[in-house]
Amino acid sequence: MSGLEFFVGHYAYWFVVALLVLGLYGMIVKRNFVKKLIGMTIFQVAVIIFFISSAVKKGATIPIADKAVGTAESGLYVNPLQHTLMLTAIVVGVATAGVGYALLVTIFRRFRTLNEPELMERMRREREAAEKQGNDA
Amino acid sequence: MITPYFVIIPLAAAFLIPLVSKRKTGPAVLLSLASTFALVVLSGYAFFGRSGETLVYRMSGWKLPVGINLVQDAFSSFMLVMVSLIALTSLVFSPRYIDRLGGDAKYYSLFMVLVAGMNGVVVTGDLFNLFVFMEIAILAALALVAYGGRAHEFEAAFKYAVMASVSASLILIGIAVAYSATSSLGLATISRGLERQSPILVLWVGGLFMAGFGLKTAAMPFHAWLPDAHSSAPAPISAMLSGVLIKALGVYVLIRFFYNVLGAPPLFLQIFLVLGAVSIILGVLLAIGQWDIKRLLAYHSISQIGYILLAMGLDTTLGMIGAVYHMLNHAVFKSLLFYNAGALETALGTRDLREMGNVSKLLPVTSGTSLIASLSISGVPPFNGFFSKLVIIIAAVQAGQPLFAFVAVVGSLLTLASFLKVQKFGLRGGRPVERLIGEVDGGMKTAMILLAALCLVTSLLIVPGIRETTIDPVVKVIMEKTGHAQIVLEK
């Protein structure tokens, strides 16, 4: 197999790898918490696409017993397990993202910013103010 | 069959708690205490009564390649005993502490979800099921870390959420690779399937799981989230996170996967040795520099987890005895130390060691139990930490790894140094504290005394006669390696 064929033949994997890199980039480099969370979601979606891509079968039909196809040859049906697993994984992912956004909303209400360096600075200032107050009292 | 009840009881309690208690927390406390107590009794029965047996529960009666099964052997039962014991003391400690944070019944509900998730991870025999239980535990833990409601707690919980989801995604890729190669999700069938696959594939699966569960374990290169998350949580939750969560979700799964599924591949065990040694030294060095008592304890968790990883990387029976024993001991004394920190925070209103003083007169129980816990974690006889560290060091020497034995000794000495600092600044040295701003109530004292007693009781496990009925069956399950899959499949 030539290099080009290898590259084209695995296009789904390259797409997944690109998404994974994009998600990681968002989580590590971006300074805004919402952008970090978007990066996290892209990362999760890439994994889900990777899982689903392993279920692809050329020329197979949906996994419902069909008289015209018969049940003797299971290879004529697509494996439904990956899809059901990923339904669960999507629900889990939504839950994590939901908790993440809920936390961000609370942080934003308190500090009016979601920029990481700015937030750190404000939290530090607030802590110092609290300590000063404690000393006065 | 008792296995499913370890998940059903806490999950049912979690859903009942909001129903029975709207405003008052009384019924919630009672219900959660009762269900955790039931778990302690059940897991004690499973561990001592059915020891050495492997119980397999098939959901809806489907056999393994098709169905999902729960597998409970001595190792699972051992973890269940540990989780329920620490959960019980944590709940005994909680009521007053949580009231101070403006507590409501939600706390107890989330707590029970956390316990259900951990128990689920420990008893499941299915890889995807394990993933789901893990996420249940993590989501509950996230909410509990942010429970105090202060801004930096939300920030720590957010950081934890991102790290947890990265690790979950890595694990999911690992599951995808394992499923593609073996067309099954049961741990036992994966183990049989991977034996026939190329070593490169095993390397892929192992690497992904190592990174994923390594993040949960918080061994050294993966540790960044732990100090923030564990020190921001309320004290009883810190005790649960440091005491059992990183073990049930991290170390347990690593041992189960690399020994019982992959059959202890030497390359990965070498990596565990190195990770363990690095964690021991760097964790404790970072801990010494801390002034916030809970951050200091959190860094010590990294260091102590290093001991467990080092011992499991030795691949000898004695090393595994050390790993399992240290896991239990660390759960006991680290939880106790976090309770001490919580009691000090309640009584003095600060977590900064520099602002504390001599409290041995005013808080005799707290300072006494914290002395016991500090001596245990530093490895001073006759407390439990001494014996498990001794076993690990002897095992390292016997396995022909004197360098790692030396690392373990140095780590232990540095631990002693950092806890001398805690005792000197936090509890015994300095000017005496004149008045307390909060009261350490009976529940807190009971929890601390209970665990301090356990620090002494668990050191009895080293006595050969007792060890044969407690730790040896656990180690036997682990050292069966892939033979364990055969036992599960035959059931």
Residue B224: per-residue pLDDT:
86
**What would the pLDDT profile of B330-353 be if each residue is shown by its tens digit?**
999 999 999 999 999 888 888 888
Domain that holds residue A101: 3-63+71-136
**Using DSSP, how many helices (H) and how many strands (E) does chain A show?**
5, 0
Q: Longest Cα pair distance anywhere in chain B, in angstroms?
A: 70
Listed in sequence order, the residues at least 6 apart from B77 whose beta carbon sits closer than 8 Å to its beta carbon are B43, B46, B47, B50, B51
Flag if A85 and B155 touch (Cβ within 8 Å). Answer: no
**Using DSSP, how many helices (H) and how many strands (E) does chain B show?**
21, 2
The C-alpha atoms of residue B463 and residue B261 are separated, in whole angstroms, by 31
Q: Are B6 and B39 in contact (CB under 8 A)?
A: yes
Domain count, chain B: 1
List, as ranges, residues 121-180 from B with C-beta within 8 Å of A: 128, 131-132, 135, 138-139, 142-143, 146, 151-152, 154-155, 157-158, 161-162, 164-166, 168-169, 172-173, 175-176, 179-180
In eight-state DSSP terms, residue A112 is S
Sign of the four-CA dihedral A96, A97, A98, A100: positive
SS3 state of residue B114: helix
**What would the pLDDT profile of B14-67 be if each residue is shown by its tens digit?**
999 999 887 778 889 999 999 999 999 999 999 988 767 888 888 888 887 788
What does the pLDDT profile of chain A (137 residues) look like in tens digits?
Answer: 678 888 887 888 899 999 999 999 999 899 999 999 999 999 999 999 999 988 888 888 888 887 887 777 777 888 888 999 999 999 999 999 999 999 999 889 888 888 888 888 888 887 777 767 655 54
Domain count, chain A: 1
The C-alpha atoms of residue B428 and residue B333 are separated, in whole angstroms, by 19
Cross-chain CB nearest to A100 (options B158, B179, B180): B158
* Cα dist from B280 to B61, B214, B336, whole Å: 45, 15, 20
For residue B1, the one-letter residue type is: M
The C-alpha atoms of residue B464 and residue B448 are separated, in whole angstroms, by 28
- Closest-CA residue to B462 (of B397, B393, B382): B382
User: Locate tokens 């196809």: which residue?
Assistant: A69
What is the signed CA dihedral for B289, B295, B297, B300, rounded to 10 degrees?
-60
- CATH number of the domain residue A102 falls in: 1.10.287.3510
Using omega within 30 degrees of 0 as the cis cutoff, is the peptide bond preceding B382 cis? yes
Measure A103 CA to nearest chain B CA, in Å: 6
Token couple for B84: 């329920």
Cross-chain CB nearest to B132 (options A92, A99, A103): A92
Q: Are B48 and B153 in contact (CB under 8 A)?
A: no
- Closest-CA residue to B285 (of B305, B300, B304): B300
User: Locate tokens 């001599």: which residue?
Assistant: B358
Domain that holds residue B211: 5-490
Which burial class, exposed, middle or buried, applies to A34 when counting CB atoms under 10 A from its CB (0-12, 13-18, 19+)?
middle
Q: Does A43 touch chain B (CB under 8 A)?
A: yes
User: Locate tokens 């069959």: which residue?
Assistant: B1
The C-alpha atoms of residue B459 and residue B469 are separated, in whole angstroms, by 15
